[in-house]
C-alpha cells in the first residue's frame, strides 16, 4: 500500500555532510573521511586526477611459464638465488656490494626542512614546528626496526635493483606504524591483471619450489595510483607492500641489475678461472715444471728382448711400470735433491751421443706472472660493472692501469659515488615519504624532508680530518 514518500535533504560539505529531518526537527552532521584526507595532504575531490596512468599489458608468454599465479623470476624462478651463489664465489663482489650498501645508508637519516636560499639553491635546515609532531617523527625513524629496514633494503636495492618493503598499518588505520624489510630473494610478483595492475606479491623461503601452504600472499600498493593514500586508508588489511625498483629497459616485472653484465660478458668467468688454475698448478707442480720426451728407441735399448718381443699389451705394461717407478723417484720426499740418470748411445751416422730422454723445463705461468695482468683486468671490469672507482678500495692496478691513488683521489671518488647512489637512496626514502603523507606529517609540516647524514674526508687546509654532509 503506497504511502506518501518523504525525502531527506542531504548536503555534502568539506568535512561534514548535513542531513535535515524536517518532520522530527533535527539537523544531523555526518563526519566524512575528508578531514583525514586534508590532514594527509590529499587534494580535494575536484582536484583529483580524472583518470589513472596508462599501462601496457605485456604478453605473459614472453616471460616464460607462470607457476599458478606466480610470475617466475628468471627461467627457473631462481634468478636471485643463482646470482647470489655465483657472486659469493668471487672474492671482490660480496665486499663491493657490502661497501655500496654501507655507502647508501651512510650515517643514517635526519629530519630536516627543505628550502631554497637566496641563490636559488636547495638547502636543508633544522626542523621547527610542533614539538609533539617532531617527537612522533623521530620516534619512527629512531626505532630499531627502522634501522633494520635501512640496512636490509639497502642491500636488496643495490644487489637486485628491486625491493618489497612492507608497511604495517595501525588498527584504526590512522597511521602507518612501521616499515618492515622483506627479503628480496623471497618475493615474487603475481600475474598482471587485464588492467595492468600487480595487486599482490608472494612471499616464500622455498623458491624456486612453489608450496602454496608455505607461501604468503601480500597486498601491494601501486605507487602510481593518484589516490594511494585514500585507497590504503579504506582497505581492510593491515599490512601492505610498497614496491621499489630501479628500472632497467625491457624488464617489466623484475629489474636486471647493471652489474650482472659481468656474468653476461664473461669477465666473471675469467676472474673465477684464474684462482682455480693457480690451485691446479700448486697441486701439480712437477708435471707443469718439466716436459719429458722419451725416444722410441729407449725401450729396446733399456729392456732388450723383454720389450722387443713383448705383445702390445706387454709393451704398455713395461711403460706403465716405468712411469710409476719414475713418479715415485721424483716425488719421494726422502730423496729430494737426487739426480735422475738416463742412458745415452752413440749415433754412428751423425757421430754424436744421443739422449733417449729429453727434459724440457716448462715456464710456470704463475711464477712468471703471465696471468697477473689478466686477473687485474678482470678485477677492474668487476669494479666498473658495479660503478665503483677502484681507488676507493685501494686497487693498485697493473702497469697499464695507473698506480695507487692518493687521499685526494679517494675523497673525490667517494663524493662522486654518493651522487651516483642518490637514486638508490631515493628508493629507500620513497616509502618513508609515503608514510609522512599518510600519517599527516607532511600536511602539518609542508617543508618536511629527510636527508642522509654523511661523514666525508677533508683536505689538510681545513684543519679537520672529517666533515658532515647532508644529501
The 10s digit of each residue's pLDDT in 241-287 is 999 999 999 898 999 999 999 999 888 888 888 787 777 766 665 45
pLDDT digits over 70-117, tens only?
Answer: 999 998 899 999 999 999 999 899 999 999 999 999 888 999 998 888
The whole-angstrom separation of Cα 432 and Cα 438 is: 10
CB 191 within 8 A of CB 203: no
Q: Which residues pair with 448 in a beta bridge?
A: 113
pLDDT digits (tens, 9 = 90+) for 348-389: 666 776 777 777 776 655 455 667 777 888 888 888 888 887
**C-alpha to C-alpha distance for 363 and 333, rounded to whole angstroms:** 23
Task: Provide the percentage of residues in the chain whose pLDDT is more than 90.
Answer: 38
Q: Stretch 194-223: mean pLDDT, rounded?
A: 93
Count of CB atoms situated within 10 Å of the CB of 421: 21
User: φ, ψ for residue 116 (rounded to 5)?
Assistant: -115, 130
Q: Which residues contact 385 (CB under 8 A, 6 or more apart)?
A: 258, 259, 261, 262, 267
Please report the DSSP string for 201-232 in residue order.
Answer: EEE-SSTTS--GGG-EEEEB--TT-TTHHHHH
Q: Give the per-residue pLDDT at 286.
A: 47
* pLDDT at position 465: 46
pTM of the entire structure?
0.71
Degrees, nearest 5: CA angle 364-366-368: 70
| Alpha-carbon separation of residue 85 from 39, 73, 82, 214 (angstroms) | 47, 15, 5, 23
Residue 125 bridge partners (DSSP): 113
Residue 447's Cβ-side half-sphere holds a number of Cα atoms within 13 Å equal to 13
Is 328:322 a contact under the CB 8 Å cutoff? no
Amino acid at each position: 500500500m503506497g504511502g506518501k514518500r518523504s525525502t531527506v535533504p542531504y548536503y555534502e560539505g568539506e568535512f561534514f555532510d548535513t542531513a535535515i529531518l524536517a518532520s522530527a526537527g533535527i539537523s544531523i552532521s555526518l563526519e566524512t573521511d575528508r578531514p583525514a584526507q586534508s590532514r594527509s595532504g590529499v587534494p580535494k575531490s575536484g582536484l583529483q586526477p580524472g583518470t589513472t596512468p596508462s599501462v601496457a599489458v605485456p604478453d605473459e608468454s614472453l616471460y616464460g611459464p607462470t607457476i599458478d599465479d606466480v610470475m617466475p623470476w628468471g627461467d627457473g624462478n631462481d634468478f636471485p638465488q643463482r646470482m647470489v651463489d655465483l657472486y659469493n664465489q668471487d672474492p671482490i663482489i660480496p665486499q663491493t656490494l657490502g661497501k655500496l650498501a654501507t655507502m647508501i645508508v651512510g650515517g643514517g637519516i635526519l629530519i630536516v626542512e627543505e628550502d631554497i636560499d637566496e641563490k636559488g639553491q636547495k638547502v636543508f635546515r633544522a626542523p621547527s614546528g610542533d614539538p609533539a609532531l617532531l617527537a612522533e617523527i623521530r620516534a619512527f625513524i629512531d626505532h630499531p626496526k627502522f634501522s633494520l629496514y635501512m640496512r636490509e633494503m639497502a642491500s636488496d636495492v643495490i644487489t637486485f635493483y628491486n625491493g618489497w618493503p612492507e608497511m604495517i598499518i595501525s588498527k584504526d588505520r590512522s597511521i602507518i606504524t612501521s616499515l618492515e624489510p622483506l627479503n628480496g630473494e623471497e618475493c615474487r610478483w603475481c600475474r598482471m591483471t587485464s588492467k595492468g595492475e600487480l595487486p599482490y606479491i608472494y612471499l616464500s623461503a622455498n623458491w624456486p619450489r612453489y608450496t602454496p601452504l608455505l607461501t604468503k600472499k601480500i597486498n601491494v600498493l601501486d605507487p602510481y595510483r593518484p589516490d594511494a593514500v585514500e585507497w590504503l586508508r579504506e582497505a581492510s588489511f593491515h599490512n601492505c607492500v610498497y614496491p621499489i625498483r630501479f628500472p632497467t629497459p625491457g624488464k617489466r616485472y623484475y629489474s636486471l641489475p647493471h652489474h650482472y653484465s659481468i656474468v653476461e660478458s664473461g669477465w666473471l668467468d675469467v676472474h673465477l678461472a684464474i684462482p682455480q688454475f693457480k690451485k691446479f698448478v700448486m697441486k701439480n707442480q712437477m708435471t707443469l715444471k718439466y716436459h719429458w720426451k722419451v725416444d722410441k728407441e729407449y725401450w729396446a735399448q733399456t729392456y732388450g728382448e723383454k720389450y722387443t718381443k713383448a705383445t702390445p699389451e706387454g709393451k704398455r705394461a713395461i711403460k706403465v711400470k716405468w712411469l710409476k717407478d719414475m713418479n715415485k723417484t721424483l716425488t719421494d720426499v726422502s730423496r729430494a735433491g737426487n739426480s735422475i740418470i738416463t742412458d745415452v748411445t752413440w749415433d754412428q751416422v751423425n757421430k754424436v751421443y744421443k739422449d733417449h730422454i729429453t727434459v724440457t723445463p716448462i715456464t710456470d705461468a704463475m711464477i712468471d706472472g703471465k696471468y697477473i695482468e689478466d686477473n687485474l683486468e678482470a678485477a677492474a671490469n668487476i669494479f666498473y660493472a658495479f660503478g665503483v672507482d677502484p681507488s676507493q678500495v685501494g686497487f693498485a692496478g697493473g702497469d697499464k692501469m695507473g698506480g695507487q691513488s692518493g687521499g685526494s683521489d679517494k675523497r673525490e671518488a667517494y663524493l662522486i659515488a654518493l651522487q651516483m647512489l642518490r637514486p638508490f637512496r631515493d628508493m629507500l626514502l620513497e616509502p618513508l615519504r609515503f608514510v609522512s603523507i599518510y600519517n599527516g606529517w607532511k600536511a602539518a609540516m609542508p617543508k618536511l624532508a629527510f636527508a642522509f647524514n654523511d661523514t666525508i674526508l677533508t683536505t689538510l687546509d681545513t684543519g679537520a680530518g672529517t666533515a658532515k654532509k647532508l644529501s
